[in-house]
C-alpha cells in the first residue's frame, strides 16, 4: 500500500478542481499517451515541466508592438464584427475591434460563441489583452488572444508565463491552472537528503524546488543546471539507485546454486565450431563460469556489440548448466528472434547431443502439452522461447540457468518471474544485449548486475562501408542494387519510422515493397510487425535460402536476424532513426565473406543533430563509441528507442547532464544501505516515501517479501 500522505498525488487528474471530462481526456492524451486507457494522475502534472518562458510585460502602445511577438496591451473595445468583418457579404471569423491612442487592431476568433465574446469584451470597456501580434490584409490582428482580463484584474495575468508541451485542444492557460491545483495538493514531506549535501549544493526543499520549476523567473531556471531542477533530478536518481541497490542486495543475498562441470559438453561444441572464440568471449565465459561455480546468485549482464558472438557464449554457459544436471532456458523478445536462436543453438548444440525445444505463443494443443510434459519430466535440456515461458503451467524439472536476450525489452518483474521458476533458491541469471550501453546507463538501468563486455568481432569479419545519400538520388541506389542482385548479392531495405505508428510504418513499407516488386518481380519479400508469425517466418526462410534477393522491412529485423549472404543494407529516412538503432540495423550485414555496404538515405536539409548522427555512423563501427555519442546527442531517456520498455524513463533527471548527480546518488544509496540494510530505522522512513514518490517501490515489495 502506498503511504497515505502520497494518496492525493496518485489520484487521477479528474479529482482536481476545474478538470472536467473534456480536459481530463486531453490530459490523459498528453501525460499517459503510451498506455492504452491509462489515466493521467496528479503527480504526472507535477513532473510535466515547462520548456520555455513568455514575457508578458505590458507594451506601452499598440504602435510599439512588433509583428510576430507576444504583445500585452491596454485597449478599449470599440466594435464587434460578427461573421464577416470588414467586407460586405463575406463570411469569416468573428472579429472584435480594439484600440488605444496610437492605433487599432482586431481580435480574431474562429468558431466563436458571440454571447460569450460580448460578455468577455463589452463595447466601450477597457481590457488588458495578451497574445501574438500578426498582420493580415493590411490589418493588425491578434488571433485568439491568450489572455483577456479587465484592467483591474491585471494582477491575475502572469508577467512571466511558463510554456509547457501541449496536445491538440489543450491550451497553456488551462494546463497551468491544473498544475497550480496539483501543486496545492503537495503534502508536507520530511527531508530525505543529507542536510550537509543539500546545503553544499544550495538546494531548496523538495516542495520549494517543484514550485520553482513551475514558476521560472528567467530562461536559466529551465536549464538542467538550475538549483531547483538539480534538486529534484537528484531525488529521482537517488530513488533509482536505492531501488537498484536493494534489488541487487536482495537477489545476491539469496543463496545461489553451484553449477560446475568438467566441460565435456563445452569441448564437444567447441570442436564443431567453424571458428575460434575471441579473447573477449573467453574472458566473458571465465567470468560466467566463476559466477556459476560460486554459492552466490549470478546476476550478470553480457554486453556484446553487433556480431560479437553472444549467442555462442550463452550456449556454452547453458551447456555447463546442463552438464551440472540442471536445465536452462533462453528467452527472446520476439518469435522471429527466438526461432533465429533455435536455429543457431540447435546447429552448434547437436555436437553435444543437447535436447533443445522451442515454446512460443504459436505452439498449441497436443504439440504444446507434449512439450510441457517433456519439460517437467526433464527430457528437454534447453528451452528457447518468448514471453510464453512466463505462463502458468510451464514448469521445469530443475531450472538452473535463465538467459534473457535483449534485456532492455523486459522489466525487473519479468526477470524475477522467470528466475522464480527455478527449483529451490531459484535460477542463476544471465542477461544479454546487443545494444552497447554507455557507462552512465549501466548505472541507472543495470546497477543490480555485474557486467561482461564482448568488444571484439570474430576473425574474418570485414568492415562495412557506410555512405550517406540524399533521397533525391534514390534512383541511383536502386540501379546499384540491380547490378549487385544480378551478381548474386542480397539486400535489406528498411523503411522509415513514421510518427511512432506501427500502422503508418506498415503503410510506408507496403508502398516501397510495391515499387521494388514492380522492378524486381517476385525476388522481393516484405516483413513487418503486423504480419502473422508463420508468414513472417516463411518470408525470412525464403530470404535466408536465397530465393528472395531483396527484403523490405520495418524495424522488426533490427535485432538478431542472421543471413550471412546479405551484404547490402539500405535505411530509408535514416535521419529519423537514433544512432543505436542505425547501428543495430547496419549489423545485419557484414556477417559473411562478401564486401558489405550500408547506405543511409536521408531527406535534405538535415538538422544539426541528424547530420552529426549520420557522421558518427560513417566514421565508426564501434558500438560502444556509438552508444556514448548517442547519449550525448539524445539523452538517456530515449537511448534504446522509444518502443522499448524496461529502461527507467526519467521524468526530471537528464543524462548525461546530471551524470555527476548520478554518481553522488549511487554513493549515497550504498552508504544508506551499509548503515541500514533493511531500511527499518526511523531515518529510513523519508527514503521509503521517496521510493513511492518516484514509483520505485519494487524495492519495498522485495524487502517485505524477505
Give pLDDT, residue 517. Answer: 95
Beta bridge partners, 147, equal 130
Tell me the C-alpha to C-alpha distance, in Å, between residue 511 and each of 114, 505, 552: 47, 10, 10
CB-neighbour burial class of residue 118 (10 A; exposed 0-12, middle 13-18, buried 19+): middle
pLDDT mean over 638-658: 61
pLDDT at 645 over 50: no
Q: Are 129 and 145 in contact (CB under 8 A)?
A: yes
CB 509 within 8 A of CB 528: yes
Q: Are 586 and 569 in contact (CB under 8 A)?
A: yes
Q: What's the pLDDT band for 686 if we cut at 50, 70, 90?
A: very high
Query: Residue 84: is its pLDDT beyond 50?
Result: yes
Distance CA 145, CA 127 (A): 12
Grid coordinates in use for 319? 551447456
Decide if pLDDT at 644 tops 70: no
Cell 498582420 belongs to residue: 135
What confidence tier does 565 reach under pLDDT thresholds 50, 70, 90?
A: confident
| pLDDT surpassing 60 at residue 206 | yes
Query: Is there a contact between 274 and 444 (Cβ–Cβ < 8 Å)?
Result: no
Cβ pair 212, 49 in contact under 8 A? no
Q: Where are the domains of the chain?
A: 4-53+179-222, 57-157, 264-454, 464-620
- Res. 561 pLDDT band, cuts 50 70 90: low
More confident site: 99 or 453 = 99
pLDDT digits (tens, 9 = 90+) for 326-338: 999 999 888 878 8
Query: Is the separation of the CB atoms in 596 and 465 below 8 Å?
Result: yes
Contact 342, 362 (CB under 8 A): no
What is the topology classification, in CATH, of domain 464-620?
Answer: Rossmann fold (3.40.50)
pLDDT higher than threshold 90 for residue 659: no
Report which of residues 282 and 297 the model is more confident about: 282
Q: What 3-state DSSP class applies to 283?
A: helix
Distance CA 440, CA 636 (A): 8
Residue range 107-130: mean pLDDT, rounded:
94
Cell reading at 700: 519495498
User: Please, is 661 exposed, middle or buried when counting C-beta atoms within 10 Å of its C-beta (0-12, 13-18, 19+)?
Assistant: buried
| Same fold? 264-454, 464-620 | yes
Q: What is the mean pLDDT of residues 317-332?
A: 95
Place of cell 513532473: 47
Q: Which of 334, 332, 359, 329 is nearest to 419 (CA)?
A: 329
> If we measure between CA atoms, which residue out of 567, 584, 574 comes closest to residue 468?
574
d(C-alpha 265, C-alpha 352), whole Å: 5
| Mean predicted lDDT score pLDDT of the chain | 87
Pick left, alpha or beta for residue 249 (phi over 0 → left; psi -120 to 50 → alpha; otherwise beta).
alpha
SS3 305: coil
Structural contact between residues 343 and 356, judged by C-beta atoms closer than 8 angstroms:
no
Is CATH 3.40.50.300 the right assignment for the domain spanning 264-454?
Answer: yes
Using alpha carbons, select from 581, 636, 628, 575 the residue that is nearest to residue 605.
575
Say if residue 643's pLDDT is above 50: no
Mean pLDDT score, 196-207: 96
Res 392 pLDDT > 60: yes
The x, y and z cell numbers of residue 126, run together, are 477597457
Number of Cα atoms under 13 Å in the Cβ half of residue 51: 5
Fold of 57-157: OB fold (Dihydrolipoamide Acetyltransferase, E2P) (2.40.50)
Quote the pLDDT of residue 459: 74
pTM here is 0.68
Using one digit for the tens of pLDDT, what is the confidence trace for 426-462?
A: 788 898 887 777 777 777 767 667 889 898 877 777 7
Averaged pLDDT, 574-581? 86
Q: Of 129, 134, 163, 160, whose CA–CA distance to 147 is shortest?
A: 129
Write out the DSSP string of 89-125: T----EEEEEE-SS-EEEEEESS--HHHHHHHS-TT-
Per-residue pLDDT at 642: 33
Asked whether the predicted pLDDT for residue 626 surpasses 90, the reply is: no
More confident residue, 395 or 364: 395
CB neighbour list of residue 666: distance below 8 Å, 6 or more residues apart: 241, 443, 447
Signed CA dihedral, 592, 597, 601, 606: sign only = positive
261 band by pLDDT with thresholds 50, 70 and 90:
very high
Other Cβ atoms less than 10 A from the Cβ of 288: the count is 24
Highest mean pLDDT among 154-158, 337-341, 371-375, 679-683: 371-375
**Apex 581 CA angle, 578 and 587, nearest 5:** 140
Q: Where are the beta strands (DSSP E) in 257-368?
A: 299-304, 327-331, 356-359
pLDDT at 646 over 50: no
pLDDT at res. 448: 65
**Do the Cβ atoms of 237 and 193 come closer than 8 Å?**
no
Share of the chain above pLDDT 90, in %: 58
- DSSP track, 431-486: EEESS---HHHHHHHSTTSEEEEE--PPTTPPPEEEEEEEGGGHHHHHHHHHHHHH
Q: What is the mean pLDDT of residues 299-308?
A: 85
Rounded CA gap, 659 and 652, in Å? 13
Amino acid at each position: 500500500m502506498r503511504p497515505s500522505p502520497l494518496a492525493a498525488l496518485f489520484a487521477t487528474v479528474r479529482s482536481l478542481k476545474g478538470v472536467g471530462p473534456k480536459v481530463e481526456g486531453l490530459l490523459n492524451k498528453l501525460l499517459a499517451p503510451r498506455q492504452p486507457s491509462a489515466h493521467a494522475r496528479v503527480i504526472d502534472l507535477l513532473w510535466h515541466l515547462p520548456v520555455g518562458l513568455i514575457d508578458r510585460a505590458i507594451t506601452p502602445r499598440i504602435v510599439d508592438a512588433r509583428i510576430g511577438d507576444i504583445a500585452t496591451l491596454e485597449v478599449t473595445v470599440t466594435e464587434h464584427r460578427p461573421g464577416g468583418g470588414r467586407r460586405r457579404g463575406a463570411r469569416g471569423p468573428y472579429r472584435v475591434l480594439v484600440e488605444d491612442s496610437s492605433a487599432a487592431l482586431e481580435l480574431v476568433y474562429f468558431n466563436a460563441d458571440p454571447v460569450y465574446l460580448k460578455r468577455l469584451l463589452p463595447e466601450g470597456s477597457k481590457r488588458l489583452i495578451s497574445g501574438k501580434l500578426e498582420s493580415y490584409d493590411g490589418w493588425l490582428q491578434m488571433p485568439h488572444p491568450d489572455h483577456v482580463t479587465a484592467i483591474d484584474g491585471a494582477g491575475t495575468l502572469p508577467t512571466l508565463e511558463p510554456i509547457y508541451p501541449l496536445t491538440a485542444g489543450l491550451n497553456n492557460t488551462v494546463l497551468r491552472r491544473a498544475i497550480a491545483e496539483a501543486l496545492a495538493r503537495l503534502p508536507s514531506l520530511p527531508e530525505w537528503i543529507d542536510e550537509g549535501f543539500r546545503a553544499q549544493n544550495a538546494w531548496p526543499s523538495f516542495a520549494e524546488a517543484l514550485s520553482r520549476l513551475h514558476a521560472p523567473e528567467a530562461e536559466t531556471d529551465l536549464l538542467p543546471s538550475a538549483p531547483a531542477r538539480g534538486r529534484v533530478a537528484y531525488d529521482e536518481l537517488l530513488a533509482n539507485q536505492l531501488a537498484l541497490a536493494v534489488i541487487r542486495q536482495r537477489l545476491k543475498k539469496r543463496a545461489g546454486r553451484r553449477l560446475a562441470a568438467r566441460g565435456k559438453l563445452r569441448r564437444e561444441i567447441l570442436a564443431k565450431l567453424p571458428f575460434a572464440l575471441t579473447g573477449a568471449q573467453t574472458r566473458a565465459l571465465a567470468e560466467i563460469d566463476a559466477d556459476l561455480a560460486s554459492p552466490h546468485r549470478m546476476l550478470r549482464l553480457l554486453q556484446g556489440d553487433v556480431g560479437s558472438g553472444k549467442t555462442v557464449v550463452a550456449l556454452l554457459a547453458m551447456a555447463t548448466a546442463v552438464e551440472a544436471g540442471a536445465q536452462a532456458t533462453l528467452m527472446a523478445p520476439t518469435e522471429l528472434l527466438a526461432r533465429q536462436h533455435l536455429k543457431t543453438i540447435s546447429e552448434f548444440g547437436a555436437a553435444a547431443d543437447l535436447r533443445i525445444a522451442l515454446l512460443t505463443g504459436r505452439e498449441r494443443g497436443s504439440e504444446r502439452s507434449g512439450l510441457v510434459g517433456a519439460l517437467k519430466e526433464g527430457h528437454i535440456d534447453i528451452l528457447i522461447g518468448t514471453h510464453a515461458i512466463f505462463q502458468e503451467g510451464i514448469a521445469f524439472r530443475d531450472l538452473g540457468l535463465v538467459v534473457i536476450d535483449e534485456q532492455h525489452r523486459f522489466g525487473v518483474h519479468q526477470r524475477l518471474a522467470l528466475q522464480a521458476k527455478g527449483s529451490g533458491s531459484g535460477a542463476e541469471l544471465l542477461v544479454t544485449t546487443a545494444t552497447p550501453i554507455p557507462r552512465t546507463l549501466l548505472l541507472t538501468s543495470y546497477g543490480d548486475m555485474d557486467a561482461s563486455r564482448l568488444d571484439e568481432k570474430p576473425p574474418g569479419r570485414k568492415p562495412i562501408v557506410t555512405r550517406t545519400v540524399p533521397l533525391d538520388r534514390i534512383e541511383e541506389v536502386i540501379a546499384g542494387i540491380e547490378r549487385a542482385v544480378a551478381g548474386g548479392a542480397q539486400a535489406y531495405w528498411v523503411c522509415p519510422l513514421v510518427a511512432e505508428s506501427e500502422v503508418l510504418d506498415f503503410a510506408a513499407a507496403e508502398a516501397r515493397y510495391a515499387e521494388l516488386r514492380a522492378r524486381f518481380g517476385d525476388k522481393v519479400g516484405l516483413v513487418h510487425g503486423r504480419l502473422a508469425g508463420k508468414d513472417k517466418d516463411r518470408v525470412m526462410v525464403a530470404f535466408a535460402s536465397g530465393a528472395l534477393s531483396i527484403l523490405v522491412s520495418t524495424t522488426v529485423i533490427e535485432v538478431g536476424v542472421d543471413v550471412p549472404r546479405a551484404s547490402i543494407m539500405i535505411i530509408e529516412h535514416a535521419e529519423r532513426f537514433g544512432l543505436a538503432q542505425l547501428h543495430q540495423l547496419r549489423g545485419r550485414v557484414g556477417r559473411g565473406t562478401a564486401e558489405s555496404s550500408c547506405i543511409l538515405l536521408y531527406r535534405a536539409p538535415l538538422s544539426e543533430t541528424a547530420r552529426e548522427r549520420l557522421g558518427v555512423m560513417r566514421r565508426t563501427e564501434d558500438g560502444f563509441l556509438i552508444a556514448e555519442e548517442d547519449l550525448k546527442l539524445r539523452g538517456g531517456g530515449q537511448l534504446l528507442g522509444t518502443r522499448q520498455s524496461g529502461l527507467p524513463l526519467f521524468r526530471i533527471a537528464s543524462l548525461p547532464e546530471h551524470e555527476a548527480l548520478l554518481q553522488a546518488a549511487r554513493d549515497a544509496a550504498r552508504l544508506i544501505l551499509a548503515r541500514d540494510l533493511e531500511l527499518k530505522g526511523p531515518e529510513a522512513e523519508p527514503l521509503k516515501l521517496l521510493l513511492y514518490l518516484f514509483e520505485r517501490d519494487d524495492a519495498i515489495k522485495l524487502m517485505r517479501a524477505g
